[in-house]
Amino acid sequence: MLEGRLWGGAMMVWVLAWRWVVPMGESAIGVNWGTVSFHKLKPSTVVDLLKDNKIPKVKVFEAEPEVLKPLMGSGIQVMLGIPNDMLALLGTSPTAADLWLRQNVSAYIGKHGADIRYIAVGNEPFLTSYNGEFQNLVMPAILNLQQSLVKANLASYIKLVVPCNADAYESSLPSQGAFRPELTQIMTQLVQFLNSNDAPFVVNIYPFLSLYDNKDFPQDYAFFEGTTHPVTDGNNVYTNAFDGNYDTLVAALTKLGYGEMPIIIGEIGWPSDGAIGANISAAKVFNQGLLSHVLNNKGTPLRPGAPPMDIYLFSLLDEGAKSILPGGFERHWGIFSFDGQAKYPLDLGLGNKELKNAKNVQYLPPRWCVASPSIDAQNVANHVRIACTVADCTTLGYGGSCNGIGEKGNISYAFNSYYQLQMQDSRSCNFDGLGMITFRDPSVGDCRFLVGVTDTDSSSVSQTRYQWWVLLPFLIIIQITSSFTL
């Protein structure tokens, strides 16, 4: 115990000293780094991509060792996520909270370590579609984790936050914003906790989803180039959905007595494929408009001259294995494609005028699986169905970039997606003799037939989670036994 305390104290002295070098609270542009992908770049390649683009902040959704290790010594500030399905355990067991912090935070920080600034407790746990499933689990988890931070001498440096979806509050006009009635009590507790620990309120705002879910939503109001449908709220006029949404949150916080609380945008972006309105052009216009809007420091009508503390774009890379229950666009939020290649020119305001591509990407050989010239389309439907159930075919959907390549093109795209996912195993291009391998790129216009990348780290996440869940019950039993012997 004494050795652990000495190490913790020494580490904290270094951390506090380092804070003078890297001041907290400066406004910055960050990105969300999700890893739900069939074709994963090496994490070290992704960290180099962040550094080459001078991106100073990153938000990750789980404590994955293969992600955290390359971030060590990078100088990139990290917001580290905890999934919703862990909230119950962390809220009921202080031992679990201590163990989680020890394994996933303390193990990676220190001199030349990862610069973890925030721990995101849950991910949109108050989302209406969850029907209150996680609502009462958030504060117990936060309180236990806070005590764990205190015991580790990290509470003054690492802040706990809760990323909330914008549906946590509601109003017909921004100035009348209020949290949903069933959330008033929990939100009061949350913002009191955040305020007492100098932590910001984190919110995810998606104008694209407003447009996608509501056919009557004015399209130009989702962007930043002016609108024919402005929202007039007293003396304030709103010309874009972001400002209106943001100020609705400001008003909701004001009603709870915390109108000056700092706000971080945890997720915001525009997908580039997979649905009507999701395309390269719209994504570029939205993201560049957002960045220019925020970086001009004009703020919003309710917070003039005070833009959000930080904004984390959603997202860094496409994630081709995400659920498409909300829509095919879910797999196409990246400003980079899955292989780290920039989709469009974008000035992040960080020194580079355009995005720089990932370097040294290890691709599979340049070959593709396509439909045989003599294919019988009537006998192929089941094969296409199976291929697209396993692989990603969302670009073939209505509004997608590959929607217009014809029936045979659709079949070839499905076959190739499956073939690349199987690491180009020649047997995976058989399809009962309906497929064939070609060395000629079958891409058509904006429809890109991908070539996979090699992935050497696919097993590490599952192995780490296995160790965590196996070890935890034994530690809890030991704690209970110790309490009885005392």
> Which positions are annotated as active-site residues?
124, 267
Tally of CB atoms within 10 A around 402: 23
Token pair of 481 as six digits: 């036994």
Q: What residues form DSSP beta bridges with 263? A: 201
Task: Please name which of 217, 303, 314, 321 lies closest in space to residue 261, comparing C-alpha atoms.
Answer: 303
Nearest to 37, CA basis, from 452, 383, 399: 452
The neighbouring-strand residues paired with 464 are: none
Closest-CA residue to 294 (of 282, 281, 312): 312
Contacts with 466 (C-beta within 8 Å, 6 or more apart), sequence order: none
Contact yes or no for 413/351 (Cβ under 8 A): no
Q: Do strands 310-313 and 28-33 pair parallel, antiparallel, or not at all (unpaired)?
A: parallel
Q: Which residues contact 183 (CB under 8 A, 6 or more apart)?
A: 126, 135, 168
Strand ranges inside 180-336, DSSP E:
201-204, 231-233, 236-238, 263-268, 299-300, 303-304, 310-313
Residues 6+ apart with CB under 8 A from 166: 203, 204, 205, 206, 245, 248, 249
Angle CA 102–107–109, to nearest 5: 115
Q: How buried is 214 (Cβ within 10 angstroms: 0-12 exposed, 13-18 middle, 19+ buried)?
A: exposed
The conformational region for residue 41 under phi > 0 = left, psi -120 to 50 = alpha, else beta, is beta
Rounded to whole angstroms, the Cα distance separating 282 from 272 reads 7
Q: The tokens of 81 are what?
A: 């996520």
Structure tokens given for 142:
């936060």
**What residue type is assigned to position 467 of the chain?**
Q
- Distance (Å, whole) CA 69 – CA 61: 15
List the one residue out of 418, 342, 351 whose CA is nearest residue 382: 418
Q: Answer whether 378's CB lies under 8 Å from 407's CB.
A: no
